Amino acid sequence: MPARIIDGKLLAKQIRDDLAQKIKAMVNAGNQQPGLAVVLVGDNPASQLYVSMKQKACAEVGIYSEEHRLPASISQEELLAVIERLNKDPKIHGILVQLPLPEGFDEQVVINHIKPEKDVDGFHPINIGKLQTGQKTFVPCTPAGVMKMLDSIGIDLTGKKAVVVGRSNIVGKPVAQLLLQRNATVTICHSKTNNLAEECRQADVLVVAVGHPELVKADWVKPGAVVIDVGISKVGSKTVGDVAFDEVKEVAGWLTPVPGGVGPMTIAMLLTNTVAAAN
């Protein structure tokens, strides 16, 4: 039986509809409208697209949003000054600096400058530390979206063998942490992992966040496994994931598509974090 598809687009729409209701109720009760500031430095076309998608999503649910487009020629100090202003701006509850920053900027210094209470991406070291220690915090948006997708199929992760491919600070590591918190037995793989295919074959839940088109083949997947494909790559004019969708869907129990999988969930979780920041 082919895998059942976890429809990220549909799930994200449900989350956005719920948020729209919640925001309406907040505003009707006399509370402030949640506000998000998105900071984009330089003219990376993919970043420009992501930023405009995030702004459109804000408008749809009733989040006030501001876009700060800055030239790549500005200094790091000037960028920090913009963040400083946003940190103090009462209209703004969430600040997102679109990554990657152009060459010459120290991303960690820039992220560290965002007030942790406004760090809706969950990238500030204070928020990462809170996540590690199981404290309430902003969960990074893509990992939060992955967990929502798993929850949507009603899987009990306790005792399940989870394999995460990719160890970035924004996806792989926090996903692994969240799976661990839910009592999965977690293996993290990366570019230096020996026999990656064999590691993947052990997984009841396989999360792939690499950025290598169709890396994961059908014979890497345990029959019936849940496969979450985070990767996004352009191959010609086509957007593909890290999982060879057509062949893996014949083996997996559940599978996320690309596009229409984790991507829309990431944006929905950004909106969720922004509303939480305003409360």
List the catalytic residues. Answer: 54, 98, 121
Residue 201 makes contact with ligand NDP by CB under 6 A: no
Residue 76 makes contact with ligand NDP by CB under 6 A: no
Integer Cα distance of 120 and 15 in angstroms:
17
- In the region spanning residues 115 to 154, those forming contacts with ligand NDP, defined by CB under 6 A, are 142
Min CB(24)–ligand NDP separation in Å:
27
Residue 96 makes contact with ligand NDP by CB under 6 A: no
205: three-class secondary structure by DSSP: strand
Closer of 131 and 232 to ligand NDP (Cβ): 232
Question: Residue 266 forms beta bridges with which residues?
Answer: none
- 53, 77, 202, 253 from 270: Cα distances, Å: 11, 26, 32, 28
- In the region spanning residues 221 to 260, those forming contacts with ligand NDP, defined by CB under 6 A, are 230-233
Closer of 65 and 266 to ligand NDP (Cβ): 266
The two tokens of residue 150 are 């798993």
Integer Cα distance of 157 and 268 in angstroms:
23
Segment near ligand NDP (CB under 6 A), from 57-65, 113-121, 148-156, 187-195?
A: 187-195
Helical spans, DSSP H, in 159-261 = 172-181, 196-201, 245-248
Min CB(79)–ligand NDP separation in Å:
21
Residue 189 makes contact with ligand NDP by CB under 6 A: yes
Residue 98 makes contact with ligand NDP by CB under 6 A: no
How many positions of this chain bind ligand NDP (CB under 6 A)? 25
Residues with Cβ within 8 Å of 101's Cβ and at least 6 positions away in sequence, in order, are: 41, 42, 107, 110
Closer of 181 and 239 to ligand NDP (Cβ): 239
Closer of 86 and 262 to ligand NDP (Cβ): 262
Are 67 and 51 contacting, i.e. CB atoms less than 8 angstroms apart? yes
The two tokens of residue 7 are 């429809």
Residue 62 makes contact with ligand NDP by CB under 6 A: no
Size of the chain in residues = 279
The two tokens of residue 18 are 């719920």
User: Where does this chain bind ligand NDP (CB under 6 A)?
Assistant: 142, 165-168, 170-172, 189-193, 196, 209-212, 230-233, 262-263, 266
